[in-house]
Amino acid sequence: MAENVIEVKEVEKTYYRDRMPIPVLRGLSLAVPEGDFVALMGPSGSGKTTLLNLIAGIDRPDKGRIIVAGTDLGTLPEGQLAKWRSRHIGFVFQFYNLLPVLTASGNVELPLLLTKLSKKERRDHVRAALELVGLGDRMSHSPRQLSGGQEQRVAIARALVTDPTVIVADEPTGDLDKQSATEILDLLGRLNKEFHKTVVMVTHDPRAAERARVVHHLDKGELD
Amino acid sequence: MGLLLSYSLRNLAARRMTAAFTVIGMGLVVFVFAAVLMLAHGLERTLVSTGSSDNIIVTREAATSETVSILGRDQAGVVKTEPEIAVGPDAKALTASEIVVLISASKRSNGDAANVVIRGTGPEAFTLRQDIKLKAGRMFAPGTSEVVAGRSVAKNFEGCGLGENVRFAGRVWNVVGVFDAGGSGFDSELWGDAEQVQQAFRRPIFSSVTARLRDPGSFDAMKRRLEADPRLTVEVEREREYYEKQSRATASFIRVIGLAVTILFSMGAMIGAMITMYAAVASRTTEIATLRALGFTRFTVLRVFLAEAFLLGTLGGVLGLVAASFLSLVSVSTTNWDTFSELAFSFSVSPGIIIGSLIFAVLMGVIGGFLPAVRAARADIVNSLRKA
pLDDT at A16: 87
pLDDT at B332: 82
Sequence-distant (6+) residues with CB within 8 A of A203 are: A39, A40, A41, A171, A172, A173, A174, A209
Query: Given B3, B14, B298, which is nearest A109 (Cβ)?
Result: B3
C-alpha dihedral, B145 to B151 to B156 to B162, nearest 10°:
50
* pLDDT per position as a tens digit, A95-154: 999 999 999 999 999 999 999 999 999 999 999 999 999 999 999 999 999 999 999 999
Using CA atoms, how far residue A34 sits from A92, A129, A161, in Å, is: 19, 22, 19
Please compute the mean of the pLDDT values over residues B193-208 and round it to a whole number.
Answer: 95
The CA-to-CA distance between both ends of chain A, in Å, stands at 23
pLDDT at B258: 85
How many other CB atoms are there within 10 angstroms of residue A179's CB atom? 9
pLDDT at A63: 94
Please compute the mean of the pLDDT values over residues B200-205 and round it to a whole number.
Answer: 94
The answer, yes or no, to whether residue B7 has pLDDT greater than 70, is yes
Spell out which residues of chain A touch residue B295, defining contact as CB-CB under 8 Å: 82-87, 89, 111, 114
**Which superfamily is assigned to A4-223 in CATH?**
P-loop containing nucleotide triphosphate hydrolases (3.40.50.300)
In chain B, % of residues over pLDDT 70: 99
* pLDDT per position as a tens digit, B238-278: 988 888 887 787 888 888 988 888 888 888 888 988 998 89
* pLDDT per position as a tens digit, A18-45: 889 989 999 999 999 999 999 999 998 8
Spell out which residues of chain A touch residue B1, defining contact as CB-CB under 8 Å: 113
Q: Cβ separation of B7 and A106 shorter than 8 Å?
A: yes
The answer, yes or no, to whether residue B374 has pLDDT greater than 80, is yes
Arithmetic mean of pLDDT over chain B: 90
Interface contact A48, partner B, CB < 8 A: no
In angstroms, the CA B100 to CA B146 distance is: 16
Contact B377, B384 (CB under 8 A): no
Question: Per-residue confidence at A77, pLDDT binned at 50, 70, 90?
Answer: very high
SS3 A44: coil
The answer, yes or no, to whether residue B337 has pLDDT greater than 80, is no
The CA-to-CA distance between both ends of chain B, in Å, stands at 27
In angstroms, the CA B312 to CA A143 distance is: 25
In chain B, % of residues over pLDDT 90: 58
How many other CB atoms are there within 10 angstroms of residue A43's CB atom? 11
Interface contact A37, partner B, CB < 8 A: no
Please compute the mean of the pLDDT values over residues B288-292 and round it to a whole number.
Answer: 93
Please compute the mean of the pLDDT values over residues B157-182 and round it to a whole number.
Answer: 94
pLDDT at A2: 65
- Parallel, antiparallel, or unpaired: how do β-strands B331-336 and B341-346 relate? antiparallel
Contact B117, B189 (CB under 8 A): yes
Q: Name the minimum distance, in Å, from the CA of A4 to any CA of chain B.
A: 23
Query: Residue A15: closest CA among chain B residues belongs to which residue?
Result: B383
DSSP B296-309: --HHHHHHHHHHHH
In angstroms, the CA B222 to CA B228 distance is: 10
ipTM, 2 decimals? 0.93
Interface contact A158, partner B, CB < 8 A: yes
The domain limits of chain B are 2-48+246-386, 55-212
Query: For the whole prediction, is pTM greater than 0.95?
Result: no
Which of left, alpha, beta for A42 (phi over 0: left; psi -120 to 50: alpha)?
Answer: left
Alpha helices in chain B (DSSP H): 2-14, 16-48, 73-80, 124-128, 151-156, 194-201, 219-228, 239-246, 248-283, 285-294, 298-325, 351-378, 381-386
pLDDT at B130: 84
Q: Cβ separation of B4 and A85 shorter than 8 Å?
A: no
The answer, yes or no, to whether residue B387 has pLDDT greater than 90, is no
C-alpha B274 chain-centroid distance: 33
Query: Given B296, B299, B382, which is nearest A59 (Cβ)?
Result: B382
Q: Cβ separation of A87 and B11 shorter than 8 Å?
A: no
In angstroms, the CA B378 to CA B248 distance is: 49
The answer, yes or no, to whether residue B89 has pLDDT greater than 90, is no
Query: Given A58, A83, A113, which is nearest B382 (Cβ)?
Result: A58
In angstroms, the CA B334 to CA B251 distance is: 11
The domain limits of chain A are 4-223
Query: Given B286, B290, B297, which is nearest A82 (Cβ)?
Result: B297
Interface contact B6, partner A, CB < 8 A: yes
Alpha helices in chain A (DSSP H): 48-56, 78-88, 104-109, 119-132, 148-160, 178-194, 206-211
* pLDDT per position as a tens digit, B64-86: 888 889 999 999 999 988 889 99
Q: Cβ separation of A93 and B6 shorter than 8 Å?
A: no
pLDDT at B328: 87
Question: Per-residue confidence at A177, pLDDT binned at 50, 70, 90?
Answer: very high
Half-sphere exposure of B50 (CA within 13 A, CB side): 27
The answer, yes or no, to whether residue B346 has pLDDT greater than 90, is no
The answer, yes or no, to whether residue B1 has pLDDT greater than 70, is no
pLDDT at A45: 84
Interface contact A44, partner B, CB < 8 A: no
The answer, yes or no, to whether residue B308 has pLDDT greater than 80, is yes
